[in-house]
Amino acid sequence: MALSPDTVETLADEYPDEQPLAAVEDEHRELLPTTLRQGTYGRRDVEWIVQWYFRRFLGRYPDADRRAAEERFGDNEYEALETAVEDALEAESTAAKLEALTALSGVDVPVGTAFLQFLEPERYLVMSAREWAVLREHGELEAPYPEPPEASDYERYLERCRELAERCECELWTCYRALWLLGYRSETRE
């Protein structure tokens, strides 16, 4: 199955039927960008991003690793959260945005990309080994998923996703849904 416009659209349309977090994701995609830009968010709003990053795997992410990351994130002072979000919004480059976010405890580059997706959904989308593997399987990326990924790896991934969105004449979120669902289906067949 090629990552054609029809395929991407079909998969994105099927995503809500197979992914139980779809409705909550849509709500947060609608609310969080404005809330984060205006600084009218609370601790739970930013904690949700970290929780979502891991919990969208629906148990396929090691529970101990998930809990440890969520606990580390919980150790951040609220002022540090505000500073990281503000610095990420003000930063010019993707690398600088990620640098601001990864200054937080419990936030590595992949979790930082989740923040970027909810800070600026029109420009960014989340990255994990699942989406990367789908792009690689379809010839969009050559290298295997880096462990651990760096900002430059995300920039390469993001460039491919933006090219895919342009080719398919869709939003990045549509690409995310298609990539996620393809990866999910591949993993559940194994």
Question: What is the rounded average pLDDT of the residues 168-184?
Answer: 96
Q: Which of 124, 163, 119, 125 is nearest to 141 (CA)?
A: 163
Percent of the chain residues past pLDDT 90, beyond the cut:
92
At 1 the pLDDT is 59
Distance from chain centroid for Cα 184: 15
- CB proximity list for 96: less than 8 A, separation 6 or greater: none
117-147 residue pLDDT tens: 999 999 999 999 999 999 999 999 999 999 9
- CB proximity list for 75: less than 8 A, separation 6 or greater: 105, 106
43-90 residue pLDDT tens: 999 999 999 999 999 888 888 999 999 999 999 999 999 999 999 999
Angle between helices 109-119 and 22-38 (to 10 degrees): 80
At 190 the pLDDT is 64
Single pTM value for the model:
0.95
- Please check the confidence at residue 110 and state whether its pLDDT lies above 80: yes
Count how many Cα atoms sit within 13 Å of the Cα of residue 22 in the half-sphere of its side chain.
Answer: 16
Phi, psi at residue 6, to the nearest 5°? -65, -40
Return the H-helix or E-strand segment holding 62: none
Domain boundaries, the chain: 5-189
